[in-house]
Amino acid sequence: MFLPEVKSQKDEDICILIRVENHSYNYICECGEATSLTVKECQNTKAIFISHTHIDHFVNFDTILRHQIGIKQRIIICGPKGITKQVQSRIQSYCWNLITEDAIIYEVREIQSQETIKKAELKPPFWEITPLEDTSPPTVYENELFEVTYTILDHKTETIAYLFKGRDKTKIDLQKGDFKGGKWVKDLKTAFETNDINASIDIEGNMYKASDLFHLIEVKKGKKLGVIMDHAASPSNHNNILTTFKDADQVFIESFYKIEDKEAAISNYHSYSSESGRIMKECLVKEAIPVHFSRKYNEIDIEELIKEFEHAYKE
């Protein structure tokens, strides 16, 4: 159901666009420079997820803002401690004397901890921070199709790793019973989803207890997509990654360095190829994709880095 696309080239900063099947909005993870991110993609974006605000993850926010101004929508921005002020500072550095008040609203969800998410909105022309009622974790964003939860990792600053999880879907398998379809199908699904086992279900004038029909229901599990950005390859980070991303279907994970540059990884609180691959293997992730490589590497280096990752992930 999630159709992610890395919008940044290998020599650009990281930016991942997530489209969702049968859904008109899309979602942006990380605001690194990505020249192939189009105006339309920015305008169709409903929420932006930022791991941390090192320049390589936040530099392209202005471009997205430039394309979104005037769309008259509420856009959600999720990020780590301090993100609200940083978004405000970026926006306030421009002159807004000609803007209309309804041009856009940014709603910022600032992740304080696993227990607290502060919420505020910023509107033109002054972009003051107006606090809103806090959101309740563990979900930082949700809609009718999926929800997004998170874990906080250490990169000498806090970085947020996000998990997108599609909602489970229920389907009635008519072949398992002797009934024809009808309104009862919807009633039974509702009873199942709300765990109302005693609900009465009317099938062609006959009344049944909902739980007696639950065997007709098939549950299709929602897909899980992870985005794990900059983090030290430390036991405590790996522990958090394991708890949050176990059995995920697809995960994008930073692999900033090659094994030979492990010392640089340690001093910069980054991960490196073999450790990113190893933790993805341990999480039993079905498809792990290494992203976000140091700019000092040429194409051959990156090929080697990806081989090191694959070796640790698949062997």
What residues line the site for Zn ion (CB under 5 A)? 54, 56, 230
- Dihedral of alpha carbons 23, 35, 256, 312, sign: positive
Which residue, 13 or 308, is less far from Zn ion as judged by CB? Answer: 13
Which residue, 56 or 110, is less far from Zn ion as judged by CB? Answer: 56
- Dihedral of alpha carbons 111, 112, 117, 122, sign: negative
Least distance (Å) between residue 80 CB and Zn ion:
11
Q: Indicate the residue type of 216.
A: L
Which residue, 230 or 249, is less far from Zn ion as judged by CB? Answer: 230
Least distance (Å) between residue 54 CB and Zn ion:
4
Least distance (Å) between residue 57 CB and Zn ion:
5
Closest among 175, 168, 199, 176 to 186, alpha carbons compared: 199
- What is the signed CA dihedral for 223, 227, 135, 236, rounded to 10 degrees? 110
**Stretch (H or E) spanning 95:** none
Which residue, 91 or 265, is less far from Zn ion as judged by CB? Answer: 265
Which residue, 54 or 169, is less far from Zn ion as judged by CB? Answer: 54
Least distance (Å) between residue 217 CB and Zn ion:
44
Least distance (Å) between residue 292 CB and Zn ion:
6
Q: DSSP string spanning 7-37? A: -S-TTS---EEEEETT-S-EEEE-----TT-
Least distance (Å) between residue 12 CB and Zn ion:
12
Least distance (Å) between residue 16 CB and Zn ion:
13
**Stretch (H or E) spanning 315:** none
Q: Supply the DSSP symbol for 176.
A: G
Cα separation values, 206 from 174, 175, 179, 201, Å = 17, 19, 11, 8
Least distance (Å) between residue 55 CB and Zn ion:
9
Rounded Cα gap, residues 124 and 154, in angstroms: 34
Which residue, 4 or 80, is less far from Zn ion as judged by CB? Answer: 80
Least distance (Å) between residue 315 CB and Zn ion:
27
Q: What is the largest CA-CA distance in the chain?
A: 73
Which residue, 88 or 255, is less far from Zn ion as judged by CB? Answer: 255
CB neighbour list of residue 293: distance below 8 Å, 6 or more residues apart:
10, 255, 256, 301, 302, 305
Task: Give φ, ψ of 307 to 5 degrees.
Answer: -65, -40
Which residue, 56 or 275, is less far from Zn ion as judged by CB? Answer: 56
Which residue, 44 or 86, is less far from Zn ion as judged by CB? Answer: 86
96, 112 contact by CB (below 8 A): no
- Give exposure, 126-147, as e/b (b: 16+ Cβ within 10 Å): ebeeeeeeebeeeebbeeebbb
